[in-house]
Amino acid sequence: MNIKRAVSMFDIHHPLVDWPTFGAGLDYITRERVDIFVLGGDNIDCGPISRHTKGKPLLRPRGQMKKDLDTFEKRILTPIEKKLPKDAIKVWLTGNHEDWAEQLIEEQPELEGLLDFPAYLRLIERGWLVKPQGGHFQYGHLKWLHGDVLGGNGIAACKRALDTYVESIVFGHFHTAASATKILPHSAKYKWQAWTSPCVGRLDHAYLKKAPTGWLNGIAITEFFDRGFFNHYPVTMFKGRFAYGGKLYGRI
């Protein structure tokens, strides 16, 4: 049977990346064939154009947004593309952080056309499927979305995803690992699960002010088999290492 493998990286928040986590994910796609790769939203942090940094020039260095995009292309996008098979499906989900560009354009419409990140990174020309904020990608019986449309916290969001979509869902946004299950009592045929995934971004963002969180680093691996059915594996990491299928990945 032909197994198709998908890897998801959510919430990279470049340049606020946990590089050991990203490195372990890159190690996995280097050593294993990956047929579907999903950048799950909040791929770029967009701090320099955030409403949260408005009026705080120390958090908005001159030219920083261009620098962030250029280094994302060099350190994240190109290394991923080099490791994936030429025929791999590549998906870009837009998160709420990338949507800050649209919010800025609403305030300053004269900037329209200058803050189109997929256009700047030439994603479509490079073969990426680009999904807008709130959009999703589906393969087999599984949907991917960023997750900001769900609200709440990780566990509540999983339950809300099942009630809203009545499908199996994987999403990010909450930077943690949680899941929920929905089964119809009158039919054993229909079963769905929802998962929120760990993040690839750092866990020590300054705005947290060292407050405790349930955030985790990691990626997600999904394996599809007959007729679009699948098994989904959220992978958490510790110091940039994880074990999967009897192999160790990441920093040795």
Q: Which residue, 192, 201, 214, 164, is CA-closest to 40? A: 201
Residue 101's Cβ-side half-sphere holds a number of Cα atoms within 13 Å equal to 22
Return the pLDDT at 224: 97
Exposure string over 25-37, b if 16+ CB within 10 A, otherwise e: bbbbbeeeebbbb
Helix (H) or strand (E) holding 118: helix 117-120
Task: Give the pTM.
Answer: 0.93
One digit per residue, the tens of pLDDT, for the chain of length 252 reads 699 999 999 999 999 999 999 999 999 999 999 999 999 999 999 888 877 777 777 778 888 889 999 999 999 999 999 999 999 999 999 999 888 788 777 777 766 776 788 999 999 999 999 999 999 999 999 999 999 999 878 789 999 999 999 999 999 999 999 999 999 887 777 889 999 999 999 998 777 677 778 899 999 999 999 889 999 999 999 999 999 999 999 986
Helix (H) or strand (E) holding 243: strand 241-244
Q: Let me know if domain 4-250 sits in CATH 3.60.21.10.
A: yes
The Cα 204–Cα 78 span in angstroms is: 26
In this structure, how many other beta carbons lie within 10 angstroms of the beta carbon of residue 190? 10
The region, left, alpha or beta by phi > 0 then psi within -120 to 50, assigned to residue 228 is left
